[in-house]
């Protein structure tokens, strides 16, 4: 599989437009999914199945959904849903919807630097 990595400068420019939640999800490389009995989870029942849809608790805009049978077995894996306006902003796409690449090691470093904006830092004295 040939992977295209996003330019770290492009990652930083995109990240400057993201919310704190979007930055956290991108920097930590995972979403914070809620428990089933949470207001950000919706369960729909059909004949012989449940669809579970959850929104990330960091409010980054990304949702996921899966299908379970009435015995509790997952019959369709979790799939991300980027259809919200917030999630569309979060994605690494250009104006035409074309991928700008995946966020690699250099992009993660750029995300860290953007995330540090406004963080209080304690300076440690140099050891002699």
pLDDT single digits (tens) 4-16: 999 999 999 999 9
Taking the C-alpha atoms of residue 112 and residue 13, their distance in angstroms, rounded to an integer, is 13
Is 82 inside a domain boundary? yes
In a domain, 2, yes or no: no
* Residue 33 belongs to some domain of the structure: yes
Residues 46-102 pLDDT 10s: 999 999 999 999 999 999 999 999 999 999 999 999 999 999 888 999 989 899 999
Judge whether 125 lies within some domain: no
Proportion of the chain above pLDDT 90, given as a percent: 89
In a domain, 107, yes or no: yes
In a domain, 58, yes or no: yes
Residue 21 pLDDT > 80: yes
* 27-59 pLDDT per residue, tens: 999 999 999 998 999 999 999 999 999 999 999
* Per-residue pLDDT at 90: 84
- Edge-first strand order for the sheet with 63-69 is 41-46, 49-55, 63-69, 74-81
Which structural domain, as residue segments, surrounds residue 36? Answer: 8-115
pTM of this structure: 0.82
Q: How far apart are CA 97 and CA 52, in angstroms?
A: 28
User: d(Cα 31, Cα 52) in Å, to the nearest integer?
Assistant: 16
Nearest to 11 by CA among 118, 106, 96: 106
pLDDT band at 113 (very low <50, low <70, confident <90, very high): very high
Give the total number of structural domains in the chain: 1
């Amino acid at each position: 599989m040939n992977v295209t990595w996003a330019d770290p400068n492009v990652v930083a420019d995109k990240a400057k437009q993201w919310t704190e939640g979007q930055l956290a999800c991108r920097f930590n490389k995972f979403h914070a999914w809620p428990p089933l009995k949470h207001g950000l989870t919706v369960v729909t029942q059909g004949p012989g199945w449940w669809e579970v849809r959850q929104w990330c608790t960091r409010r980054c805009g990304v949702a996921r959904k899966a299908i379970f049978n009435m015995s509790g077995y997952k019959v369709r894996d979790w799939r991300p849903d980027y259809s919200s306006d917030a999630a569309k902003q979060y994605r690494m796409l250009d104006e035409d919807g074309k991928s700008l690449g995946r966020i690699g090691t250099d992009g993660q470093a750029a995300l860290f630097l953007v995330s540090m904006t406004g963080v209080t830092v304690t300076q440690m004295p140099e050891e002699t």
